[in-house]
Structure 1
Amino acid sequence: MAQIKINALKLNVVTDHGLFETFSTFTNGLNIVRAKNSTGKSSFTNSILYALGVEELLGGTNGKTMKPVLREELTYQGNSYKVLESNVEIQISNNNGNTISIRRWITSSTREEKLIEVEYGPSLTEDKKFKKQDFYVHLPGSAQNDAGFHSFLAEFVGWDLPLVPSFEDKERLLYIQTLFPLFFIEQIKGWSSFYAQPTSNYGIRELPTRAIEYILGLDILNNSKQKEELRIEKALISQEWSSLINAIREKANIIGATIEGLSDKPELLSNHEIYVYDKNQKLISLKERISNILYEFNERSTVVRSIKDVEKEHEARINNIENKVLALQSEANSVRQDINASIINQNTLDANRSQLQQDLKSNQDVKRLLDLGSDKSLYVAQGICPTCNQKIHETLLPQDIEFQPMTLEENIKYIKDQLATLKFALSQSANVVAEKNKRLRAVTEALEEERRRLRSLKLELREDPRMLSNLDIEETLNLKWKIKELQEAENSFEEFGKKLDLLKKQWEQYLKSTKKIPEEFFSQLDKTKLETFEKRFRYYLEQFGYSSTPLNDISISLDKFTPVVRGFDIKFDSSASDFIRLRWAFALSLNYSTNHYGGNHPRLVIMDEPGQQQMNINSTGKLFYSLSELKSQSIIASSLTLEEIKSITQKIEVNIIDLGDEYIIKPQTN
């Protein structure tokens, strides 16, 4: 069980006129640190953050986050003294009863601000020597390495910090700094929101939500993590699948192949076939095409003939090829006409889509204005003629025909349906054009080949009949080259197929993993914690005198886990003083829920000047009473007078630490 119990705090400042210091011890339960405004009260509480290496809540890192009185010049009783060296010491305990003392320098000529010294024992409250060890903070590895202070502190407190999704689609540690805004409310930013984010979000997606989930110890943290991991896995598989599909299509385009059954998205039952055009421009499988060319090549390579031997064959081929050229020219023209018609159809569909998009925008704008209650420049929408101001009908049909025109909502839906249909039609049209272009390419290539062959035949017939037929040799070599090209493509497709099969297995495992995620987003324990959180939040608001909104309208949102009113941000419905009450209730409810049902709250609440916005002293008294009831330690820095504090804490157990009305850092008294 996580716990941070602060036993003692000490500030040491060495000036050019000696040592100044302040020292306080704290008890379990409610501790009120009382001091007059502008006397160092905030410096005192903020030094807790600095000692623990989480001063990022103050807007930066290292010594510059501390007040000048601890770094540059200290004023006491009207005199100013130069600061030579300063540090802060804090003694804390955990749930196991182990105690350590932490020392960190604010300014020093020999010690870096990133160095933290840990003493394994209560050196601030006992005059003994204990084992010491140095750690570093605000350097790479501070949260994970053995010498990193935050790694050590998380283990000491009892925090097993999870890995959470980041903006880079990777996992990042939920850093210790991200948890402190939920139980340490500093004076500058802490009262302005339910989660006063540190200077950085550490690249973590939805940081406040992740921090609240962890503090409450919700099971959905694991569920959310698994879902985010699966989301990333899906994106990676889909991206790799898409790249592979593009590579297959590019290879197919090189050889003029057509692919059927190739899915653009991962699909377990995806089974594609590859077809190419044969010499008659008919689609056949790639394997069959290779087999046919191999047979033809083997037939040709068995004998080399002379021109005299092929003369009659050449003359017959010339007649056949001339007829074939005419047929191919006609077919090419026909395919071109089909492509042009398809492109015209595409342009028409695209123009219709543009018009529908404009109609949709116009209808949505009218509906938006009407929903807002507009009655300006919308006469037609209201059924009024803009010229004569007479009522007009919404249809041109005869009025004795019973016809109900569509409402704006129905019209918007109808246009969206039409747009979806057009989008599908455009996609199909693009596919048709692509296939027709492949067909045209195959026909034109065949046409050019036949024309070349025709020229070669005629030329060869003019040569010496005793010479070898060069056309036979050339066509044999062309067949050999074509076989090589298609076989290389076939090998590539086989490799692509293996990669697709591997992706299918990954996709199958992804689908199985999605089925293992609980259908119920929240576990039963999560529901109990959140119900308790919400009920206690309302209870505290009632105790503190919240009045801006009916309590029954307030709930804890189930996505961000912050208070809302009828689904909207509660801050906008609350007065300034009531928002402070909301902040009190939120901090206490987090603590209460984890106290009763488990979680990772450190059972510590620290508030610097909770009496913001001229808070009613009775409300502050209720806050003190509620804090005293928690089974936790609380440290409250307040500028109320000692008499005011005593008057509102008469009936509760409290440790009042009165630092007086002068500056709290005073000369050492020995």
Structure 2
Amino acid sequence: MPNLIINRLLYRVETEHGKYGADIPFTPGLNIIYGPNSVGKTSIITGLIYGLGAEKGLGIFKSDQNPFKPEFYKSISGYPIIKSYLILEISNGERTYSVFRYIKGDNTDIVAVKETTIDNFYKISEHKRLIVAGEGVFSEDGYQKFLFDFIGLNIVELPTYDQKQSKLYFENILPLFFVEQRAGWSQIQARQVTRYNIRDIKKVVFEYLMGLDRFVLHQIIIRKKELEDQIKKIKDDTLNKEENLLVILNAEKVDDIPIINSGKIGKTSIYDYIKYLKDKYKAESENINSISSKNKDFEDSNSKLRDNLRRLDYELRTLTSRIDKIDTEINGYENYLQRIQKNKYKNKQLKKIQELNIDVNITSCPVCENTLQNHSDNECILCHSDKRKKISSPDENLIFLEDEENTFKKVIRQRKLDKRKYLELKNSTKDKIALYEKQLEHQTNTYAGKDFAVLREKILEIDSIHKELERLIRIEQRWSELNPSRKLLKSLEQKLIDIKEEIEKYQQTENDKKTLKNIKDNIHNNLKSLGIFKSNTNLIDSIKLDESDNYTPYLDNYDIYNISSSSDNIRIILSYYLSLLQTSISDLTGKVKFPNILILDEPKQQNLDNDSLLNCIDEIEKIPSDKSQIILTTYSESPKDKQKLKKYINYEMISSTDYLLKKINE
């Protein structure tokens, strides 16, 4: 089974004033990157992940975001950066490749891959240009396809929450063997990428990498959820439409057929009722045609009478409308007359006041008590209005209003006369209608006998049947249009039944039981070594894997994360990831696809104490170094701790000023 092994990471940063870089070697087994905070340990991890094209696993959400610190792509030592890149050398135990990728350069979404070591990278011209981001990452020119083939992973498609399919990406697999420094230690698979909308992604990627037979079943369960959602959507839409049609029909549904209580033939299906109405319509039509054909002259006369009745009926409606309009017009004129009469009254009163002022010789205003004789000739004697505005006098107003009143009275008299004329025409038309109706009735009784006397009623009845028939046919067509949805619904429901039966038949395979037991046992052993729960072995042995919650550790009677300290939480997560690697190495079936690598970034910064870290190293030492690789970043102020870790330190930055990137001469 191919593995993923990191051999070497090379950085180059170029400015106008010189070049900077770093060269970090790796070996199988435990690799410790050692140094104090802020010197660049995490930048090494960032380079590994970036070189694998999985920077989304670092918490990068936008394609244009750079995961590196500014000294890799903006400026270093005060000098602007012209270009920067890395070369990552990887192996799968059989073949070795070197991957070139720009950090700042021509195209950061393309990598150059050569089947060689870094030392020979520039000596070999043959290479592949592979797409890292965007469309085509799983094509023949895609970096994702290259990585999956390189590690020996199958490319699989999984259902999404929006009922589509999405491939499982490398950045989805990454959170099971890489723990990022900041959020990564908060929970298992904390940096899982959800942007592809894959259903139950944490659960399914665990089953995929750990080679569980349940992975196939999980895909079936996901399909079941999809079917249930699809069925619900179709059913809700179909039922809503059916209910609307049943309300219109005042019917009920039996076996997908509307049943109508017709009142004529009792309860019957819409199809039978339509057939009944068609037959009745046909019979009544033939009966009417038979009666009508008895007397051609009578039919012609009848037709003329009906035409006259229709014409007179139209004239009657027109006359009624005109009379209504005249009534409205007269009411408007009469309202206006009332306002004229009110204005006449006001002007007569004003005239009396003026006459009173002259006759009685009033010298002061009864309101403001000003002397009237002292006012300018330009002002009104009483109201002081400016005479230059030429306001009409009461006499002038009265003359105008009386003239207007007479005019409107004449108009009203004329319109009332018009109304009487239209009323006469209306009454005359009514008389003609009554005459024609009487004549039509007389002709019916005289010339057609008893059968034709009820012809009109039969015509009205058959018209009613025809309208009802057309209505039912339209509704029946709308009901039939739902048949494809009903058919699809039945098909999906049958598929759901089959899937449920398949799920019910599932028994956890021996392979799954063994794999999960190995993981659980390894977790127990690791936690005992790390001293969790004050080494309460009974409590540790009670820890299980929750298959319904992404296969995370849990306790039946306690919340495993709340009964422990913050450092205990880190121990649980650390033990979990170690157990996956341990289980993969011990697998003899070849089903486990775990790439046998762990990348653990600074667990000590998350409250993991030195003793626990050293105990973890003891457990790592038990793992065959030729079958695995663990990359760990850490630091301790204690010389004793460093001495314990010394043989595993593959790269060290010895002080707070010993930064990763150093000036180089090439």
What is the TM-score when the length of structure 2 is the normalising length?
Answer: 0.68
Q: Does 1:554 align with 2:543?
A: yes
- Listed one character per residue, the Cα deviations across residues 117-143 of structure 1 (whole Å, up to 9, x for unaligned) are 21222234677415212223232343x
RMSD over aligned CA atoms reads 3.3
Aligned-partner SS, 1:533: helix
Alignment check: 8 A CA contact 2:185 2:606 kept: no
- Partner of 1:20 in structure 2? 20
Q: Does 1:188 align with 2:182?
A: yes
What does 1:473-484 align with in structure 2 at a 5 Å threshold?
473-484=459-470
Bigger shift: 521-530 or 5-14? Answer: 521-530
CA apart distance, 1:272? 4.4
Alignment check: 8 A CA contact 2:114 2:121 kept: no
2:277 to 290, 293, 300: 293
CA distance in 2, matches of 1:188, 1:282: 75
- Partner of 2:644 in structure 1? 648
CA distance in 2, matches of 1:235, 1:199: 24
What does 1:491-502 align with in structure 2 at a 5 Å threshold?
493=479, 496=482, 500-501=486-487
Q: Does 1:638 align with 2:634?
A: yes
Alignment check: 8 A CA contact 2:12 2:19 kept: yes
- Partner of 1:229 in structure 2? 223
Aligned-partner SS, 1:472: helix
- Listed one character per residue, the Cα deviations across residues 32-54 of structure 1 (whole Å, up to 9, x for unaligned) are 22234332222122211111122
CA distance in 2, matches of 1:115, 1:596: 37
Alignment check: 8 A CA contact 1:63 1:106 kept: no
Alignment check: 8 A CA contact 1:85 1:107 kept: yes
1:621 to 614, 628, 643: 614
- Partner of 1:73 in structure 2? 75
Q: Counterpart of 1:667 in structure 2: which amino acid?
A: K
CA apart distance, 1:218? 2.0
CA apart distance, 1:11? 0.8
CA apart distance, 1:533? 0.8
626 and 485 in structure 1: CA distance in 2 versus 1, 3 angstrom threshold: same
Alignment check: 8 A CA contact 2:610 2:641 kept: no
Aligned-partner SS, 1:513: helix
- Partner of 1:106 in structure 2? 103
What does 1:123-202 align with in structure 2 at a 5 Å threshold?
123-124=118-119, 128-142=123-137, 144-198=138-192, 200-202=194-196
Alignment check: 8 A CA contact 1:259 1:272 kept: no
102 and 471 in structure 1: CA distance in 2 versus 1, 3 angstrom threshold: same
Q: Unpaired runs of 5+ in structure 1?
A: 262-270, 310-456
CA distance in 2, matches of 1:637, 1:107: 25
Q: Counterpart of 1:528 in structure 2: which amino acid?
A: K
Q: Counterpart of 1:107 in structure 2: which amino acid?
A: K
What does 1:289-328 align with in structure 2 at a 5 Å threshold?
289-300=273-284, 301-302=286-287, 303-305=289-291
- Listed one character per residue, the Cα deviations across residues 361-412 of structure 1 (whole Å, up to 9, x for unaligned) are xxxxxxxxxxxxxxxxxxxxxxxxxxxxxxxxxxxxxxxxxxxxxxxxxxxx
Alignment check: 8 A CA contact 2:561 2:569 kept: yes
Alignment check: 8 A CA contact 2:58 2:191 kept: no
- Listed one character per residue, the Cα deviations across residues 165-219 of structure 1 (whole Å, up to 9, x for unaligned) are 4332333223211222221223222222222225754323333323322222222
Q: Counterpart of 1:120 in structure 2: which amino acid?
A: E
141 and 249 in structure 1: CA distance in 2 versus 1, 3 angstrom threshold: same
CA distance in 2, matches of 1:49, 1:278: 74
Alignment check: 8 A CA contact 1:223 1:521 kept: no
214 and 253 in structure 1: CA distance in 2 versus 1, 3 angstrom threshold: same
CA distance in 1, matches of 2:661, 2:523: 38
- Partner of 1:587 in structure 2? 577
Aligned-partner SS, 1:612: helix
- Listed one character per residue, the Cα deviations across residues 264-297 of structure 1 (whole Å, up to 9, x for unaligned) are xxxxxxx344433445473234444344434433
Alignment check: 8 A CA contact 1:62 1:113 kept: no
Higher helix share: 2
Q: Does 1:216 align with 2:215?
A: no
- Partner of 2:371 in structure 1? none
Q: Does 1:668 align with 2:656?
A: no
Bigger shift: 583-592 or 128-137? Answer: 128-137
Aligned-partner SS, 1:91: strand
Q: Does 1:275 align with 2:264?
A: no
CA distance in 1, matches of 2:489, 2:569: 53
1:206 to 191, 200, 205: 200
1:571 to 551, 555, 561: 561
What is the TM-score when the length of structure 1 is the normalising length?
Answer: 0.67
CA distance in 2, matches of 1:122, 1:195: 32
Q: Counterpart of 2:175 in structure 1: which amino acid?
A: P
CA distance in 1, matches of 2:573, 2:444: 105
CA distance in 2, matches of 1:239, 1:646: 62
CA distance in 1, matches of 2:107, 2:638: 39
145 and 66 in structure 1: CA distance in 2 versus 1, 3 angstrom threshold: same
Alignment check: 8 A CA contact 2:171 2:193 kept: no
CA distance in 1, matches of 2:606, 2:498: 55
- Listed one character per residue, the Cα deviations across residues 310-355 of structure 1 (whole Å, up to 9, x for unaligned) are xxxxxxxxxxxxxxxxxxxxxxxxxxxxxxxxxxxxxxxxxxxxxx
656 and 259 in structure 1: CA distance in 2 versus 1, 3 angstrom threshold: same
CA apart distance, 1:624? 2.1
Alignment check: 8 A CA contact 2:36 2:654 kept: yes
CA distance in 1, matches of 2:582, 2:438: 99
CA apart distance, 1:632? 0.6
CA distance in 1, matches of 2:665, 2:654: 16
- Amino-acid identity (%): 23
CA distance in 1, matches of 2:438, 2:477: 38
- Partner of 2:513 in structure 1? 527
Aligned-partner SS, 1:259: strand
**What count of residue pairs does the alignment treat as equivalent?**
503
Aligned-partner SS, 2:519: helix
252 and 565 in structure 1: CA distance in 2 versus 1, 3 angstrom threshold: closer
- Partner of 2:497 in structure 1? 511
Q: Counterpart of 2:110 in structure 1: which amino acid?
A: L
Bigger shift: 540-549 or 220-229? Answer: 540-549
- Partner of 2:88 in structure 1? 90
Alignment check: 8 A CA contact 2:25 2:650 kept: no
- Partner of 2:46 in structure 1? 46
Q: Counterpart of 2:628 in structure 1: which amino acid?
A: S
CA distance in 2, matches of 1:40, 1:243: 58
